[in-house]
Amino acid sequence: MSESRAHFIRISKLFLEYKMKMIIAVFCMIIAALCTGFHAWLVKPALDQVLVNANKFYLYFIPGAILVTGLVKGLASYIQVTSLQFMSHRIIEKLRRDVFHNLINLHYGFFVQNKTGSLITRITTDTYYLSGAMANTYTALIKDSLTLLVLIGNMFYQNWKLAFISIVVFPLALIPVRVLGKKIRNITKNLQHQIGNLASNLEEIFKGIKNVKSFNAEQFEISRINKEIATARELNFKQEKVTARSRPFTETLGSLAAGLAIFGGGVFVINDNMTAGELMSFLVSLMLAYAPLKNLINVNVLLQGGLGAASRIFEFIDMKNDIVEGRKTIKKFDEIQFKDVFFKYPNTEKNVLDGINVSLIKNKKIAIVGPSGSGKSTLLALMIRLFDLDNGKIYLEKKILKIFVLIIYEVFLV
């Protein structure tokens, strides 16, 4: 199973946790789709019965039917939107909790390797983008598909021959869906990554604003951030540009379908094989079908963007802790020993500790002296396993430190 498909199934399961809300939303989508089709169907009696035959019953019936149908459709659309938004915001809440709960339990080295702004972006921006994209995707896949089917059904009801002539171009609309999907997903992932970098750099500047002011580095920081903003703008524009590529294609297809329908329908009406009301009802259905068809074409853009965010979110939710906690407990001890300890920080090449051998004995004072960056704090960090060693061993009461439950600072300060 591909990664994208696995992510889509995983997100769908989150929505399906709210089965009743989903059932209500789908039911309302069906009602809204039927109302749209009924509006298109009413065009036939409006022309044939009211304008041609001067039928007074339809003169009163059709305006009332349009009003009632519009009210029902509006209410159904409201319930559908609020139901989906309820699910979306609950899922945003769950994803943010899951990401944070997993991140806070990861080893300290992870936070050394990853910028704070990037982590914040995944919890805030990515989760919001994912949930919104998926809610819109489900709306398009269900509501727009149903609306399209109802309208095509009315087209076949009015004249099946003309319907075949008009919809022969519809399958061509799937071409941009396959061509543009992967590009959109990759651009979206890069854009979200860039936004994370921008947030991280802004955080660093504002935290270190005292140093920026002290060294008159305002222009340097402005130049640096301007480059980050420009990169984000370029990726954003690239995303919109790729998305817009399908529009000339769909506009041309829509015009071709309308042209075929008007020509073919005109021939049928002239030959008395179709009434003017049937033709107008057919054309209204065809015109109304364009919007849901376009939404279904663009749904892949929404979906791929959402899956790009999903990849970044689930990467953190599924991440395992590299430091495995032992099971033995200890409250007090008399000695901790470093034996041939080597250590370097993640993403660096130089060892901070290089073959350290030292014993720390209870009630015995020992001075650890050295310049900044020489590894004094690193020794304490290794004692409480903020990091694990590259090489060597740390013994606690002559037993390897890794077998113990992770120990807090207070134990070492007793």
Query: So where are the chain's domains?
Result: 3-317, 335-413
Fold (CATH) for 335-413: Rossmann fold (3.40.50)
Tens of pLDDT, residues 173-213: 666 666 666 677 778 778 878 888 888 888 888 888 888 88
CA distance 327 to 405: 5
Does the pLDDT at position 363 exceed 60? yes
pLDDT at 230: 93
Tens of pLDDT, residues 201-253: 888 888 888 888 888 888 999 999 999 999 989 988 887 887 777 777 777 77
State the chain's mean pLDDT as an integer.
82
CB 260 within 8 A of CB 223: no
Does the pLDDT at position 410 exceed 50? no
Tens of pLDDT, residues 76-133: 999 999 999 999 889 989 999 999 999 988 888 788 788 888 888 888 888 888 887 8
Q: Look up residue 83 and give its amino acid.
A: S
pLDDT at 178: 64
From residue 272, how far is each of 54, 143, 266, 276, 357 by CA, in Å?
Answer: 20, 36, 10, 9, 102
More confident residue, 3 or 331: 3
DSSP for 255-286, please give it. Answer: HHHHHHHHHHHHHHHHTTSS-HHHHHHHHHHH
Q: 407 in the Ramachandran plot: left (φ > 0), alpha (ψ -120 to 50) or beta?
A: beta
* pTM (predicted TM-score): 0.74
| Residue of 191, 290, 298, 193 whose CA lies nearest to 244 | 298
Average pLDDT of the residues in 276-280: 88
pLDDT at 248: 77
CB 242 within 8 A of CB 304: no
The CATH superfamily label for domain 3-317 reads ABC transporter type 1, transmembrane domain (1.20.1560.10)
Question: Which backbone phi and psi does 236 adopt, to 5 degrees?
Answer: -65, -45
